[in-house]
Amino acid sequence: MNILVVAPHPDDEVLGCGGTIARLAKEKHHVHVAIITKAGPPYMTEEQVERGRSHALQAHKFLGVKNTIFCDFPAAGLDKVPHSELNKKLGALVDDINPDMMFIPFSSDIHLDHQHTFLSALVAARPNRHVYPKKIYAYETLSETNWNAPYLTSAFHPNAFFDISDYLEMKLKAFGMHVDQVKEFPHERSLEALKALATLRGSTVHRAAAEAFFIVRDVI
């Protein structure tokens, strides 16, 4: 299969589905990752941006990603980008890659970049022609998905689980390559917290480790 993982920022794809990426790549599927935004002044210097991108490419190579696409929309600024522009870019990626399966951020993540990426990914993947992504999964991102407002926004209730028991250590190592993003426990973006979440998600389906998703679409 061709698989497209859409990440608002570098490291979201590892946090949300790094183990699944490693598993699917090991199973000989073609995994493509699209990083939607690029940081810049005043948040980051160009040197910091390039450093972060090199970390992402290192992690992707380790996980077995076939291709990484940097889309260069402004980080923390997708709410100021015309919706049609993001739709067009993601639509072109879907046309080019022709993914059978997509992984996208959850609709109610607290970060607006995640929300806008979710909406445009669904526009790009509309089932209005013979060829379109048959499977779409929304992933959870620590410190984004779990920070929404319960009962006021849609909560993340996973209904699909990918067993990553054999790939958890790869996920942790890949996230560790994002050295500027790894925090000390008990911060949520720590290796310990990431492992704890995978263990929890796994135990709910009697597995040693898993990544959890919400099925947006599954055409069988």
Cα separation, 88 vs 92, in Å, equals 6
Q: Are residues 56 and 68 in contact, defined by beta-carbon separation less than 8 angstroms?
A: yes
Spatial CA neighbour of 108 closest among 217, 182, 214: 214
Range from 13-27, 97-111, 140-154, 186-200 carrying the lowest mean pLDDT: 140-154
Higher pLDDT, 53 or 43: 53
Range from 14-23, 43-52, 173-182 carrying the lowest mean pLDDT: 43-52
pLDDT at 42 over 90: no
Domains and CATH numbers, the chain: 2-218 (3.40.50.10320)
- Could you tell me which residues are beta bridge partners of residue 163? 210
Cα separation, 78 vs 46, in Å, equals 19
Express each pLDDT in 147-167 by its tens digit. Answer: 988 788 999 999 999 999 999
Half-sphere exposure of 130 (CA within 13 A, CB side): 0
Express each pLDDT in 160-214 by its tens digit. Answer: 999 999 999 999 999 999 999 999 999 999 999 999 999 999 999 999 999 999 9
Using 50, 70 and 90 to split pLDDT, how confident is the model at 48?
Answer: very high
